[in-house]
Amino acid sequence: MVQYVGVENLTALIRSVGIETFLSELAGYIEDDFRRWPAFDKVPRVASHSSEGVIELMPTADDMLYGFKYVNGHPSNIHKGLQTVTAFGVLSDVRSGYPLLLSEMTLLTALRTAATSAVAARYLARPDSRVMAIIGLGAQSEFQATAFKALLGITHLRVYDLAPAATLKFCRNMRDSGLDVIVAESSQYAVLGADIITTITADKLKATILSDNMIGAGVHINAVGGDCPGKTELQAEILLRGRVFVELPEQTRIEGEIQQMAEDFPVTELWQVVAGEDPGRRSACEVTIFDSVGFATEDFSALRYLRDKVQDTNFHTEIDLLAELPDPRNLFGLLKA
Amino acid sequence: MVQYVGVENLTALIRSVGIETFLSELAGYIEDDFRRWPAFDKVPRVASHSSEGVIELMPTADDMLYGFKYVNGHPSNIHKGLQTVTAFGVLSDVRSGYPLLLSEMTLLTALRTAATSAVAARYLARPDSRVMAIIGLGAQSEFQATAFKALLGITHLRVYDLAPAATLKFCRNMRDSGLDVIVAESSQYAVLGADIITTITADKLKATILSDNMIGAGVHINAVGGDCPGKTELQAEILLRGRVFVELPEQTRIEGEIQQMAEDFPVTELWQVVAGEDPGRRSACEVTIFDSVGFATEDFSALRYLRDKVQDTNFHTEIDLLAELPDPRNLFGLLKA
């Protein structure tokens, strides 16, 4: 039998654990896996494009576990009342090839993205950071806010979105968060005095959400929204002024903010910082940029955490995705029994 | 909600439909999809190798549906009482990217492999074929026997396996099949008088299961066992003497019998025969060879058939692999509700 964690059980698990604790523990797994980055089999995601969107498979493995995520991206879904991104994933035993756990990953991806941002910021933001600006208040925004509160000690948010409905949704969701939220009237105003700036806008365009003149010394930019070819949020000058940190350079050069830059634009891999091979932030006035696009190991960490977390609990069920045969050679016997 | 067909429901469905009818209907879907072969997005499978085996993802899509199969191959599993190959798959809506159906595919792969062999043989074997030899009586053998009875009108089997236990299992499973089974004392004896020869041995070696002198005029060879690098069953002379038909040439040249041959060894694509662009068998004395390795479109056909078949039945359940959100932008709201 394969363990199954659907939306209902994952939601119940997170409520039971508490979302801040969940994000903190998840961040620990993500950090551990970044630290042992060379141990992973890293292959490019496999994408199937259509006129409406893309469906991707993102596999990775270490020598014990194999994981993959199925994820779609369909911007026009929002007009049909559907989510633009949904996902599910599987964790398997490398030695037998048998799947162990199947999980919903729409929610889990939102959590791992925010936890990864917070892990990066712990190495890259100034330790005294308390104020975060968030530009773009879509589905990912509350997860970012919560992860930065739980992992960085952020106390104040300055937020902005073009759409009043998104702002309203964000404020409603953050009402009891313990965070002090200021709704700004523009991006320019939102970033004033912020130690950390998170950009997570949804437009599938080369946009300039942040321009160089908006970025003060010592700021850490958590650039999450520029995550596919043709979609960026930062003016190139910012990338030239700061130090850029990435997950997998070959993927980020295609999908991230640095798609605007030359092929040999210098970047530092986040895992090197986590593993202690690079110091990360070098001074209080340096501008640091985490050019986040998401990578398969983060999903692997999330599945690994979830699997550990649901053992000996009722937050999973079992499904008969695999036959259990008395004689493994006698598959046909299933039909005769 | 996503529809789910596990081992129990698939087994019950097949028993309810009847395995011969199931194989015949499935073959119809496979044939339809081979006929419209150029309509598919065909990408190489994505493999993750370890010392114990391989885990592969096999995606494909047309303009309406996307499908992928997860499949492992772990030869040493048999010594642990586990199956060497297990699989599951998902069918999705290309327009929304949402998964529609999740199914076990261990059993379904065995069925689609046999149905594909039978589809090929309907175009490549002599129409008066009544006797089939089967060399190798592992997990796939009974499926092949049943598919060739249902789709080709095979009445007599001549079978051989090195292992007496496999032979016993095969004979027990075929007892009430209506097929006349002769257990041969050697491969040489098994192929005597056979119109069709199916090879499905398990050794992960370049073996010579069939040598040229064993193959009479007019025979169709259904070469199923040679399906990965380093594993072949036919002497090269047979491939030079007959006409070789394949699924996807670039994949078969790496995995199939023709891995023994030069890179430009001439082959005919099965879809061209099904689509009427190639005559298939040209005379009663020609030797034809279907060098089968399995391709993603066959899994796609199987998932498509299964989805159509389980609608308005109880042979599936629903699982909450996807969140259903009143406001698709408010993913965080799931945790607050």
Model confidence pLDDT, tens digit, residues A268-318: 999 999 999 999 999 999 999 999 999 999 999 999 999 999 999 999 999
Q: Is A14 on the interface with B (CB under 8 A)?
A: yes
Going from the C-alpha of A120 to that of each of A247, A322, B73, B232, the distances in angstroms are: 10, 38, 37, 50
The predicted-structure confidence for A111-167, as pLDDT tens digits, reads as follows 999 999 999 999 999 999 999 999 999 999 999 999 999 999 999 999 999 999 999
Q: Are residues A164 and A262 in the same domain?
A: yes
Q: Are residues A285 and A308 in the same domain?
A: no
* pLDDT number for residue B208: 84
Number of domains in chain A: 2
Q: Do A50 and B95 touch (CB under 8 A)?
A: yes
Could you tell me which chain A residue has the CA closest to the CA of B202? A329
Q: Are residues B58 and B181 in the same domain?
A: no
Q: Do B48 and A61 touch (CB under 8 A)?
A: yes
Q: Are residues A291 and A310 in the same domain?
A: no
**Cβ count near B40 (within 10 Å):** 20
Q: Which pLDDT band holds residue B226 (cuts at 50, 70, 90)?
A: confident
Q: Are residues B232 and B279 in the same domain?
A: yes
* pLDDT number for residue B45: 82
Question: Would residue A113 count as lying in a domain?
Answer: no
Q: Are residues B143 and B291 in the same domain?
A: yes
Q: Which residue has the tokens 């020598």?
A: A63
List CB contacts (< 8 A) between A77 and chain B. 96-97, 328
Q: Is B204 on the interface with A (CB under 8 A)?
A: no
Rounded to an integer, what distance in angstroms lies between the CA atom of residue B303 and that of residue B101? 8
**What does the angle CA B294 – CA B230 – CA B264 come to, to the nearest 5 degrees?**
70
Q: Are residues B173 and B275 in the same domain?
A: yes
Q: Are residues A221 and A304 in the same domain?
A: no
CATH code of the domain covering residue B309: 3.30.1780.10
Give Cα B140 distance to the centre of its chain. Answer: 9
Looking at this predicted complex, what is its ipTM?
0.93
Position B259 pLDDT exceeds 80: yes
Q: Is A39 on the interface with B (CB under 8 A)?
A: no
Rounded to an integer, what distance in angstroms lies between the CA atom of residue A57 and that of residue A73? 12
CATH code of the domain covering residue A194: 3.40.50.720
Reduced to 3 states, what is the DSSP secondary structure of residue A150? helix
Q: Is A319 on the interface with B (CB under 8 A)?
A: yes
Q: Do B83 and A173 touch (CB under 8 A)?
A: no
Q: Which domain holds residue B153?
A: 117-295
- Per the prediction, chain A carries an average pLDDT of 95
Q: Is A155 on the interface with B (CB under 8 A)?
A: no
Nearest to B265 by CA among B283, B239, B287: B239
Q: Please enumerate in sequence order all residues whose Cβ is within 8 A of that of A172, keeping only pairs 6 or more positions apart, or say none.
A: none
A227 is catalytic: yes
Of A33, A161, A195, A227, catalytic: A227
Q: Are residues A66 and A92 in the same domain?
A: yes
Q: Do A50 and B63 touch (CB under 8 A)?
A: yes
Rounded to an integer, what distance in angstroms lies between the CA atom of residue A184 and that of residue A13? 34
Rounded to an integer, what distance in angstroms lies between the CA atom of residue A287 and that of residue A238? 8
Question: Would residue A114 count as lying in a domain?
Answer: no
Q: Do A169 and B98 touch (CB under 8 A)?
A: no
Position B279 pLDDT exceeds 90: yes
Rg (CA), chain A: 20
Position B204 pLDDT exceeds 70: no
Within 225-284 of B, beta carbons closer than 8 Å to A belong to: none
Within 84-113 of B, beta carbons closer than 8 Å to A belong to: 84, 86, 88, 90, 92, 94-99, 102, 104, 106-107, 110
The secondary element (H helix, E strand) that includes residue B318 is strand B317-319
Q: Are residues A143 and A62 in the same domain?
A: no
Question: Would residue A116 count as lying in a domain?
Answer: no
Q: Are residues B280 and B314 in the same domain?
A: no
Reduced to 3 states, what is the DSSP secondary structure of residue A175? coil
Q: Do B334 and A107 touch (CB under 8 A)?
A: yes
* pLDDT number for residue A204: 65
List CB contacts (< 8 A) between A55 and chain B. 59, 61, 66, 92, 94, 97
* pLDDT number for residue B302: 98
Q: Do B74 and A88 touch (CB under 8 A)?
A: no
Q: Is B16 on the interface with A (CB under 8 A)?
A: no
Question: Would residue A115 count as lying in a domain?
Answer: no
Rounded to an integer, what distance in angstroms lies between the CA atom of residue A260 and that of residue A236? 7
Q: Are residues A25 and A60 in the same domain?
A: yes
Q: Is A37 on the interface with B (CB under 8 A)?
A: no
Position A7 pLDDT exceeds 80: yes
Q: Do A48 and B66 touch (CB under 8 A)?
A: yes
The predicted-structure confidence for B291-302, as pLDDT tens digits, reads as follows 999 999 999 999
